Structure 1
């Protein structure tokens, strides 16, 4: 099985080994926010809340072939979900173009006999609801990845739309009737804070897409620490991702009120390393 993984297998995944590699494991602006995400947790003091819950959730990831360099798109979702499930890690899946990416993620979660947080890009509400119907049987949470609008190529290719208060409330009301908590993912700007105040989602998810998108400069850690009071007063749960590398980072996120701390690149990297090692043994 030939592989060409785009992860550089750095001793520490801190954003320096894949600068500017997008598609790939890197991000825009020479990985600026990716690097800031990782560095900020090390500098951040602990917040006022209790912490120490040794629990994490897989962040939603797609684009296995173009971004990770995995040998097969479908197999990536099955391998990733299976490995995380074995170690008791909570699950999330995302969507992409084509729709088979979401469908494979749903199938992988079903095969594992699990539930997952399901994140959909900001298409029209009609298209979003159609996709959530596909995922309803495995949906633990349903979320809109509002920051995906800032991926210009994706915005144009998939006809994404910028979500305003009325569109998000419409979605929240739909999922409320289904009994599924509604998540706004990608909260990272003052404009996003206003959306949270007005929509009052079940879950407010602080994220800058792993530093991969064009947005303001900064880290998810500092944004969480500066805005957690306002966010917690306008949602039931607060989540965060971006640059989480150590259990100490997880505990710091929890200390600012995050009930869920999500991890992405380290799991993709570990899966690639496992496959590389398996291939060496076979050969």
Structure 2
């Protein structure tokens, strides 16, 4: 991770401790914040998993080319309570604009209150209308990930984001996320509900939060366009394990039921990205390193490290 230059985008106090190595050991239990559940156990395992896999096939994996179009910024919300911004609105445009300028794909998340989704949507709209990062600005779109609200509320949210979306997905695991518990009514979705959701999107459909045998069974039944392997960065109370090992163990099977596999969780370095690509990921999603790089204003440095330039 690049060191901070000391410049902050917006006001506030970053909740990240800026550890020299971002591996989950410096922020156990920091929720709200940038830590993880189980005293950070899955956050830590996510980070360790990529290193272990890389070292078993280092010679082969190190030859894989890392291109910006293979990367995406993570679908992040909660700039005030989770990141430390003074104002929620300060985060979205700088974060998404930095990623777009780097040539990364974009992701937008959902949250409570609705303002969070609307701020992310407004940032994508502004980039599409005004950005200079693309020769055709109308192509600037994002993958939107909605929380598993009751169906009618989800259908309303689809209408908000569809004009700015390349993909629309649902966070199947976030019905159990600690930071939204007792704030809103989220539900565990059935295959029939996911099919109904897909019919309303009219866009490539993503199931995000695939991390258990039950999730694989759901994917087998629904057959989405994209399977997104994630344990929410170690922030949901699911089984103990890493997304790295889940990808390595299940990518071949999951590819039978979808067109692409996306993955996040503990991805910090160029070597981590190469490892995820080697084991079958089509898109690599990163959040914490890009959040910190945006807040501390060293995004270009971070991109150079990730791409090896």
> What is the TM-score when the length of structure 1 is the normalising length?
0.91
1:108 match: secondary structure: helix
CA distance in 2, matches of 1:135, 1:36: 33
CA distance in 1, matches of 2:177, 2:146: 14
1:141 match: secondary structure: strand
CA distance in 2, matches of 1:91, 1:171: 21
Pick one of 29, 36, 56 that aligns with 2:38: 29
After superposition, what is the alpha-carbon deviation per residue over 1:118-146, rounded to whole angstroms, capped at 9, x for unaligned? 00000112111211111111101100011
List aligned pairs for 1:1-283, cutoff 5 A.
Answer: 2-44=11-53, 45-46=56-57, 51-55=64-68, 56-113=71-128, 114-152=140-178, 154-175=180-201, 178=202, 180-274=203-297
Asked if the contact 2:42–2:234 (Cα under 8 Å) also holds between the matched residues in 1, the reply is yes
2:19 match: secondary structure: coil
After superposition, what is the alpha-carbon deviation per residue over 1:39-84, rounded to whole angstroms, capped at 9, x for unaligned? 1100014599994242310010000000100121011111211222
Asked if the contact 2:31–2:179 (Cα under 8 Å) also holds between the matched residues in 1, the reply is no
Q: Which moved more, 1:75-84 or 1:196-205?
A: 75-84
* Cα displacement (A) at 1:167: 0.6
2:143 match: secondary structure: strand
CA distance in 2, matches of 1:75, 1:93: 15
2:224 match: secondary structure: coil
Closer, same or farther: CA 274–161 of 1 in aligned 2, 3 Å: same
After superposition, what is the alpha-carbon deviation per residue over 1:152-183, rounded to whole angstroms, capped at 9, x for unaligned? 552432100111111111122333xx2x1000
Closer, same or farther: CA 91–46 of 1 in aligned 2, 3 Å: farther
CA distance in 2, matches of 1:53, 1:270: 19
CA distance in 2, matches of 1:153, 1:106: 21
CA distance in 2, matches of 1:146, 1:159: 14
Provide the aligned C-alpha RMSD in A.
1.9
2:206 match: secondary structure: strand
Closer, same or farther: CA 271–160 of 1 in aligned 2, 3 Å: same
Asked if the contact 1:204–1:237 (Cα under 8 Å) also holds between the matched residues in 2, the reply is yes
The count of aligned residue pairs is 272
> What is the TM-score when the length of structure 2 is the normalising length?
0.84
Asked if the contact 2:66–2:270 (Cα under 8 Å) also holds between the matched residues in 1, the reply is no
Q: Which moved more, 1:25-34 or 1:48-57?
A: 48-57
